[in-house]
Amino acid sequence: MKIGFFGAGHMGSAMIQGLIASGKIPAQDILVKGGRSQTAKKRQKELGFTLIDQLEELTEASLLIVAVNPAGVLPIIQSLPAAVTDKKIPLVSVAAGVDIAEMTEVLGSDYPLAHCIPNTPVSVNEGVLGISYSEQLSAADKEIIDQSLQLLGSLIEIDEPLLGIVGSVAGCGPAFVDLFIEALSDAGVFYGLNRELSYQIVEQMIKGAAELALQSKKHPGELKDGVATPGGTTIKGVVALEKHGFRNAVIEGVKGTME
Ligand SMILES: NC(=O)c1ccc[n+]([C@@H]2O[C@H](COP(=O)([O-])OP(=O)(O)OC[C@H]3O[C@@H](n4cnc5c(N)ncnc54)[C@H](OP(=O)(O)O)[C@@H]3O)[C@@H](O)[C@H]2O)c1
């Protein structure tokens, strides 16, 4: 199955990387139309996808993914040639802030559409992808969209107005976790761990803690209590974090993204 992409910037290439890494979509079956600054051309050398010139070449695709800046989405779908729109190839936009209603105004209410907010871990098939579908979407078109995006991680159907907060928590979240990784590793280095080892320990710890939370389905407070021996070191650390407003800082970070 061929997948057409508009844009191979940060998100487009993360998704392309994940699709190729899944082993289900050969690199040459990913057809990419790039923008003005030749970003896609540069990524093509590294990822091996097929760069296209003519939009008509997208008629070979079974799915179209629009991964450009929000302002570019409607102009792109307005420019789709009849050869593509007549085939009603399902189209997924991953742009924040352009909703299905706006895309439907351009393509018509019977065009199969979805609005998806992924995050960068899609590149290693561990993404979170919030998704909303157009009302008229057939089961067959939904299957094509779902089968492809599920290769990239956890696909979660959600009401479209909530995609904004999914974008903040899951889309911006990796940057927050990266800050945490860096800070915790700095603390490890402060107490004598070498830098590389400190990153390795912290990254594996976060992966393990997330996996434990996912698999055990326990409340995070219960998991925290399981680590915190009465009068022990962990609870002293937790109290110090609370004193410095750790949880409030995280919530304010998300509020900052929603402004
Ligand atoms: N980054 C994230 O973590 C994230 C998370 C969720 C959703 N998103 C959404 O993903 C979209 C892309 O974000 P990004 O971070 O990947 O931005 P980006 O790195 O700037 O990539 C956007 C790419 O779109 C290309 N482009 C622009 N106009 C085009 C056109 N008419 N036809 C084909 N390609 C075109 C650009 O190509 P040139 O550089 O060659 O001009 C650029 O490489 C945004 O709408 C954003 O809301 C991003």
Per residue in 41-79, pLDDT (tens digit) is 999 999 999 999 999 999 999 999 999 999 999 999 999
- Mutate which of 69, 79, 129 to test ligand 1's pocket (most atoms within 8 Å of Cβ)? 69
Q: pLDDT for 196-238, tens place per residue?
A: 999 999 999 999 999 999 999 999 999 999 999 999 999 999 9
Alpha-carbon distance 20 to 30, whole Å?
A: 9
Closest C-alpha residue for ligand 1 atom 27: 35
Q: CA angle 69-53-20, nearest 5°?
A: 70
Q: What secondary structure letter does DSSP report for 39?
A: H
80, pLDDT greater than 90: yes
Q: What would the pLDDT profile of 93-140 be if each residue is shown by its tens digit?
A: 999 989 999 999 999 999 999 999 999 999 999 999 999 999 989 999
Instruction: List the CATH code of the domain at 166-258.
Output: 1.10.3730.10
Give me ligand 1 centre to Cα 86, in Å.
26
Q: Checking DSSP bridges between strand 113-117 and strand 127-133, what pairing results, if any?
A: antiparallel
pLDDT digit string, tens, across residues 136-187: 899 999 999 999 999 999 999 999 999 999 999 999 999 999 999 999 999 9
* 71 alpha carbon – ligand 1 mean position (Å): 10
Interhelix angle 233-243/246-258, rounded to 10 degrees, is 50
Cα-Cα-Cα-Cα dihedral sign, residues 95, 97, 102, 104 = positive
Neighbours of 251 (CB within 10 A): 10
Query: What does the longest C-alpha to C-alpha distance in the chain come to?
Result: 70
DSSP line for 215-241: HH---HHHHHHHH--TTSHHHHHHHHH
* CATH class of the domain defined by 3-158: alpha beta
**In the structure, which protein residues have their CB atom closer than 6 angstroms to any atom of ligand 1?**
6-7, 9-12, 33-40, 67-70, 72, 76, 94-96, 117-120, 167, 171
Question: What is the position in ligand 1's atom list of the atom closest to the CA of 14?
Answer: 16
Specify the pLDDT at position 191.
Answer: 98
Mean pLDDT on 16-23: 98
Which amino acid is located at 162 in the chain?
Answer: L
> For residues 129 and 117, is the Cβ–Cβ distance under 8 A?
yes
> Residue 116 contacts by C-beta under 8 Å, 6 or more apart in sequence?
92, 93, 94, 129, 130, 131, 132, 149
- Strand partners for 4: 31, 64
92-121 burial by CB neighbour count: b if 16+ within 10 A, else e? bbbbbebebeebbebbeeebbbbbbbbbbb
Q: What is the DSSP letter of 59?
A: G
Domain layout of the chain by residue ranges: 3-158, 166-258
What is the pLDDT at residue 239?
A: 98
Q: What is the pLDDT of residue 136?
A: 85
